[in-house]
């Protein structure tokens, strides 16, 4: 997996890793660290990079 998005804010960190195949994303791993809590989400499917839009980023706490 390769880093796709890395965000460092004062009270949280977000890492999104992607496994690519041809021109689509085969798997996403989303890691969110916030103060004393952590969340890990694994998404498998067939996503185009443009499917990861502002709406998705907002829902995981980026922006």
The answer to whether the CB of 16 falls within 8 A of the CB of 27 is: no
Total domain count, the chain: 1
Render pLDDT for 8-54 as a digit per residue (tens, 0 to 9): 988 889 999 999 999 898 999 999 999 889 999 999 999 887 777 66
Domain that holds residue 23: 2-47
Distance CA 38, CA 35 (A): 8
What's the pLDDT score for residue 54?
A: 65
Residue 56 lies in a domain: no
Task: Record the tokens describing residue 16, joined without a space.
Answer: 């999104």
| Domain assignment present for 55 | no
The answer to the question of residue 41 being in a domain is yes
* 53, part of any domain: no
Q: What per-residue confidence (pLDDT) applies to 29?
A: 94
- pTM for this entry: 0.76
DSSP string, 15-34: EEEEEEETTEEEEEEEEEEE
For residue 62, name the pLDDT band (cuts at 50, 70, 90): low
pLDDT over 80 (residue 60): no
């Amino acid at each position: 997996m390769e880093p796709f998005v890395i965000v460092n804010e004062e009270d949280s960190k977000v890492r999104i890793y992607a496994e690519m195949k041809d021109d689509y994303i085969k798997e996403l791993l989303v890691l969110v660290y916030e103060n004393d809590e952590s969340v890990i989400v694994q998404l498998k499917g067939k996503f185009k990079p443009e499917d990861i839009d502002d709406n998705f980023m907002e829902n995981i706490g980026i922006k």
